[in-house]
Amino acid sequence: MATSPTPPGNPLTPVTPSHAGVAGGGMEELLPLVLQLTNPDQREVVLLELSKKRESFADLAPILWHSQGTVAALLIEIVSIYPHLTPPTLTAHASNRVCNALALLQCVASHSDTRQPFLAANIPLYLYPFLNTQSKSRPFEYLRLTSLGVIGALVKVDDTEVISFLLSTEIIPLCLRIMETGSELSKTVATFIVQKILLEETGLNYVCATAERFYAVGTVLSNMVQLLQVHPSVRLLKHVVRCYLRLADHPRAREALKTCLPASLRDNTFGPHLHNDPTVQKWLSQLLQVVGQNADGSDAASTAPTVGTSLSGSTLGEN
Ligand code: TRP
């Protein structure tokens, strides 16, 4: 029997407010369930049960974190999947099961009392092998999306410590690949993560520290814009535009964007899609204002230096 998974947490939608003491969710009910996670025979059923109910238990995260053997049980679920990553042999059933474990970890990542110890224990690193998979099959898409949901839950809270942790773990190249090759939903979450990293000063400086990094990000963003012309998605475009706008806060990145911003962002290609979204419209026009013109007010495209001069390593690589 395949357990049906709960939907992966989407960091782009607000978390349902918890109803501590209102919606069932009492300790008496919760603790015995949580402890059953340590029993391999009961684990699968309990994973499903707890991940379904996770929104209604305000204290699920601290209980999971502090009860004996529970986090270890979740990590066992995760590492037991590794042998199925290469060659890709993950079944839908196994994917659903580990995604229920990931949903519980997402809970721990989201809770203000457990986030710091969650990072200190390097738990996100256990998810990186999942983010690094490339199979397009549904079990793998679902695994990547759910893993991204955990990272998305971390970055959603605007915590500098989260960003420094992620920067120290090379998450950006993993996100960049998903932004190039993932499903529309995975791309959106991966771009959201990169956006949140860029919005921190340390993240912006990290990405703009070398020309290679800046162009790795710039190329992926521009490839996404190309694809968005064929497969429009306003929610994805929104994060792409926000990333560009943030990059433009960095002086050398701003100069580079004057030449490498995709033409379709300048020529109103996406205009017809943006009527219902004043926020993207605003960001896009801010972006064009910042990078669209040279300092003297002339059109950047006509007077921009050639790629070779403006995009060389020294342009972005110093300071
Ligand atoms: N170690 C690589 C670096 O520091 C990580 C990396 C690859 C990276 N691609 C990137 C970092 C793009 C930022 C942007 O460059």
CA of 205 to the centre of ligand 1 (A): 12
pLDDT of residue 299: 55
Nearest CA to ligand 1 atom 9: 173
pLDDT tens digits, one per residue of 88-131: 999 999 999 999 999 999 999 999 999 999 999 999 999 999 99
Question: Degrees (nearest 5) of the Cα angle 274, 279, 282?
Answer: 85
Task: Output 169-174 pairs: Cβ under 8 A, ≥24 positions apart.
Answer: 169/124, 169/125, 169/128, 171/124, 171/128, 171/131, 171/197, 172/197, 172/206, 172/207, 172/213, 172/216, 172/217, 173/216, 174/128, 174/131, 174/132
pLDDT tens digits, one per residue of 219-259: 999 999 999 999 999 999 999 999 999 999 999 999 999 99
* Ligand 1 atom at minimal distance to the Cα of residue 210: 15
Task: Output 174-179 pairs: Cβ under 8 A, ≥24 positions apart.
Answer: 174/128, 174/131, 174/132, 175/131, 175/148, 176/216, 176/217, 176/220, 177/134, 178/131, 178/144, 178/148, 179/220, 179/221, 179/224
pLDDT of residue 28: 80
pLDDT of residue 318: 34
Position 302 pLDDT exceeds 80:
no
Q: Is the dihedral of CA 79, 183, 50, 60 positive or negative?
A: positive
pLDDT, mean of residues 62-83? 98
pLDDT, mean of residues 60-64? 97
pLDDT, mean of residues 263-270? 96
* Ligand 1 atom at minimal distance to the Cα of residue 170: 5
pLDDT of residue 107: 97
Q: How confident is the model at residue 303 (pLDDT cuts 50, 70, 90)?
A: very low
With the most atoms of ligand 1 within 8 angstroms of its CB, the residue from 174, 212, 221, 223 to mutate is 212
Q: How confident is the model at residue 26 (pLDDT cuts 50, 70, 90)?
A: confident
pLDDT tens digits, one per residue of 151-189: 999 999 999 999 999 999 999 999 999 999 999 999 999
Residue 193 and residue 38: Cα distance in Å, rounded? Answer: 32
Pocket-forming residues, ligand 1, beta carbon under 6 Å? 170, 172-173, 207, 212-213, 216-217
CA of 72 to the centre of ligand 1 (A): 31
